[in-house]
Chains A and B, each alone.
Chain A
């Protein structure tokens, strides 16, 4: 069994995020990067399956050279192999171009892949397009929002997914793509001996040339979506802070509540 996990490095949004009002970009001065939290869940599932089925695991990330750090982290968690897809030509790729590049990398690197795991969405742009898009490119089934993989047998998988209205059990043939939502398991802690292995590991880099892709299909040229204007959401409302003792404040709020509730 061979498992590929797609890993994206994203800005750490767990703290306070600041947006530069001029560039309207994330103020990166004090923001760090992390592995997309849902990708951590995907990694955790991959490591469970590695234990259970002796699966070979490979993490793949597309991004700038520094995304290597995310891959070293994957290796330290116990993932066997890591590939970085990086090339100046890929800069500006939207999801259509990204899925083309990632699908090609998987075909080249692990042609006999059993399962491709990715996060249900990346927390920076929140598109959730890459998983189903890769599945389409590779002609594979895709189940999204998977939270458990209770059965793998005779070339088929049965998974539990979160649906809009509850949960579903879905089955499909393997190979397949699963996008991972929150699972009940805690992410793997990094092991000392894995750190040693990781620091000696070689991370393969794949480029436009090694992937044998057409220049016009990737990067800005290969991306039909264009980001137009950016509008900062003003959160600094005029807030009325109520002073005075609690009883007074509570009664004022009660009056406001009643008025609005009546209008509903």
Chain B
């Protein structure tokens, strides 16, 4: 199969432990949507070793190209970027999109520098606008703690590069009937190109309760004065089938693991239901809560900023309110 040149949207697949990440699928979904509307093919590119690259067809990629080599077994941004640069120079796609994860955050800046092109990082959405015969990738990026969304474009150079935060786009439902042949990219990476070596991995074992995937989040803040009061949130979470999250001070306090911290330096979540108890609503926390259908806040201070984000609010003590809520639900 011949790959299209000078066009198309490329997605760089990220993977961990032999599995593609969800953001890879989310990006393929978005790119297919944009590709259909603007007549562009969607190419997923995989760099790695021992991966089942054909799976990416199920999510809507038109083409999958795979650079496989044992040298690529462990992630290293330098060697990955060198290979990607070769592909980009040959195919000159319109746009290349990465997840804003361990892969994208490290490779995309290297690739942008090599190709002397623009990159915007940590976008929350992408659009395409056609202007003077050029298809512009509109990169929607939050600025100043999410108070503003800025549209960034790179109108003079190609490819247009962006990284997109995980969890911001819809994940398409895989369809096994959509399939194709994986195009092998001939490569011969050199060991000397590996600049970093992963020596040990310590994985968090609570990934089964991934807060980013949860549709119901019960979050607590410093309004809880004692750890045992805060821990009653788990009772509520169990009743509703949700996951407990927290603000940064509680993570610092050691009351909850940092993988459950919501916000700028924690996780960005987009649950259907978010209830925040005893949380002031600092921008650094609230910028991590997106696209809720129902946002409920309880705080003893009627002027707490969290009420600006809430659909329903109640001014009162979070501890006794929580007890009351639990007994109403039981």
Interface residues of chain A, those whose CB is within 8 Å of chain B, are 11, 13-14, 16-17, 19, 24, 26, 94-96, 99, 123-133, 135-137, 140-144, 158, 163-173, 176, 182, 223-233, 235-242, 246-247, 249-251, 253-254, 256-258, 260-261, 263-264
A246/B316 contact (C-beta < 8 A), A26-B144, A230-B148 known: yes
User: Which residue of the partner chain A has the closest CB to B203?
Assistant: A166
One of B2-10, B41-49, B227-235, B317-325 at the interface:
B317-325
CB contacts (< 8 Å) of B78 on chain A: these are 141-142
B200, CB-defined interface residue at 8 Å? yes
B191, CB-defined interface residue at 8 Å? no
A227/B215 contact (C-beta < 8 A), A173-B195, A250-B328 known: no
> What is the CB-to-nearest-CB distance from B159 to chain A, in angstroms, rounded to a whole number?
11
B265, CB-defined interface residue at 8 Å? yes
The main secondary structure of chain A at its interface with chain B is: mixed
CB contacts under 8 Å to A, within B150-196, are 150-157, 195-196
B198-236: contact bitstring with A at CB < 8 Å (1 yes, 0 no)? 111111100100000001100000000000000000000
CB contacts (< 8 Å) of A166 on chain B: these are 201-204
- Establish whether residues A128 and B121, one from each chain, have CB atoms under 8 Å apart when the complex forms: yes
- Establish whether residues B106 and A144, one from each chain, have CB atoms under 8 Å apart when the complex forms: yes
A–B pairs, 24, beta carbons within 8 Å: A24-B148, A95-B119, A96-B112, A129-B108, A129-B121, A136-B113, A143-B196, A144-B102, A163-B102, A169-B198, A172-B195, A230-B149, A230-B150, A235-B308, A237-B308, A237-B311, A241-B307, A246-B316, A246-B320, A246-B324, A257-B240, A260-B293, A261-B273, A264-B215
- Establish whether residues A227 and B150, one from each chain, have CB atoms under 8 Å apart when the complex forms: yes
A257/B273 contact (C-beta < 8 A), A13-B284, A136-B81, A242-B314 known: yes
- Establish whether residues B313 and A13, one from each chain, have CB atoms under 8 Å apart when the complex forms: no
B270, CB-defined interface residue at 8 Å? no
- Establish whether residues A132 and B313, one from each chain, have CB atoms under 8 Å apart when the complex forms: no
B83, CB-defined interface residue at 8 Å? no
- Establish whether residues B305 and A253, one from each chain, have CB atoms under 8 Å apart when the complex forms: no
> What is the CB-to-nearest-CB distance from A33 to chain B, in angstroms, rounded to a whole number?
13
B120, CB-defined interface residue at 8 Å? yes
CB contacts (< 8 Å) of B201 on chain A: these are 163, 166-169
User: Which residue of the partner chain A has the closest CB to B201?
Assistant: A168
CB contacts (< 8 Å) of A141 on chain B: these are 78, 195-196
Please pick, from B149, B200, B265, B296, the residue contacting A233 in the complex, using a CB distance under 8 A.
B149
- Establish whether residues B308 and A239, one from each chain, have CB atoms under 8 Å apart when the complex forms: yes
- Establish whether residues B119 and A96, one from each chain, have CB atoms under 8 Å apart when the complex forms: yes
Q: How far is the CA of A248 from the CA of B179 in the complex (A)?
A: 55
- Establish whether residues B152 and A228, one from each chain, have CB atoms under 8 Å apart when the complex forms: yes
Please pick, from B112, B144, B155, B282, the residue contacting A19 in the complex, using a CB distance under 8 A.
B144
Please pick, from A124, A129, A132, the residue contacting B77 in the complex, using a CB distance under 8 A.
A132
**Known pairs A11-B144, A127-B122, A128-B105 / 12 extra A-B pairs, C-beta < 8 Å:** A96-B118, A132-B77, A141-B78, A228-B150, A229-B151, A232-B147, A235-B286, A239-B310, A250-B324, A256-B296, A261-B241, A261-B273
> What is the CB-to-nearest-CB distance from A242 to chain B, in angstroms, rounded to a whole number?
5
B138, CB-defined interface residue at 8 Å? yes
Q: How far is the CA of A116 from the CA of B149 in the complex (A)?
A: 31
Interface residues of chain B, those whose CB is within 8 Å of chain A, are 16, 21, 77-78, 81, 101-102, 105-106, 108-110, 112-114, 116-122, 138, 142-157, 195-204, 207, 215-216, 240-242, 264-265, 272-273, 275, 282-284, 286, 293-296, 302, 305, 307-317, 320-321, 324-325, 328-329
Which residue, of B113, B122, B240, has the highest number of chain A Cβ atoms within 10 A?
B113
- Establish whether residues A260 and B273, one from each chain, have CB atoms under 8 Å apart when the complex forms: yes
CB contacts (< 8 Å) of A260 on chain B: these are 216, 272-273, 293-294
Q: How far is the CA of A92 from the CA of B179 in the complex (A)?
A: 46
A133/B156 contact (C-beta < 8 A), A170-B197, A172-B195, A250-B321 known: no
- Establish whether residues B118 and A225, one from each chain, have CB atoms under 8 Å apart when the complex forms: yes
> What is the CB-to-nearest-CB distance from A131 to chain B, in angstroms, rounded to a whole number?
8
CB contacts (< 8 Å) of A241 on chain B: these are 302, 307, 312-315
> What is the CB-to-nearest-CB distance from A141 to chain B, in angstroms, rounded to a whole number?
4
CB contacts (< 8 Å) of A258 on chain B: these are 240, 329
- Establish whether residues B110 and A136, one from each chain, have CB atoms under 8 Å apart when the complex forms: yes
A17/B313 contact (C-beta < 8 A), A129-B109, A140-B195, A228-B152 known: no
CB contacts (< 8 Å) of B198 on chain A: these are 168-170
Q: How far is the CA of A249 from the CA of B102 in the complex (A)?
A: 43
A132/B118 contact (C-beta < 8 A), A231-B149, A249-B314, A264-B241 known: no
| Across the A-B interface, the 9 shortest Cβ-Cβ residue pairs | A141-B195, A224-B118, A225-B118, A250-B324, A254-B328, A228-B151, A132-B109, A169-B200, A136-B113
CB contacts (< 8 Å) of A24 on chain B: these are 148
- Establish whether residues B312 and A242, one from each chain, have CB atoms under 8 Å apart when the complex forms: yes
User: Which residue of the partner chain A has the closest CB to B218?
Assistant: A257
CB contacts (< 8 Å) of A263 on chain B: these are 272, 293
- Establish whether residues A239 and B328, one from each chain, have CB atoms under 8 Å apart when the complex forms: no
- Establish whether residues B197 and A172, one from each chain, have CB atoms under 8 Å apart when the complex forms: yes
- Establish whether residues B329 and A257, one from each chain, have CB atoms under 8 Å apart when the complex forms: yes
Q: How far is the CA of A11 from the CA of B77 in the complex (A)?
A: 31
Which residue, of B148, B152, B307, has the highest number of chain A Cβ atoms within 10 A?
B148
Please pick, from B122, B148, B321, the residue contacting A231 in the complex, using a CB distance under 8 A.
B148
CB contacts (< 8 Å) of A251 on chain B: these are 324, 328
CB contacts (< 8 Å) of B216 on chain A: these are 260-261, 264
A249/B316 contact (C-beta < 8 A), A95-B119, A226-B152, A229-B151 known: yes
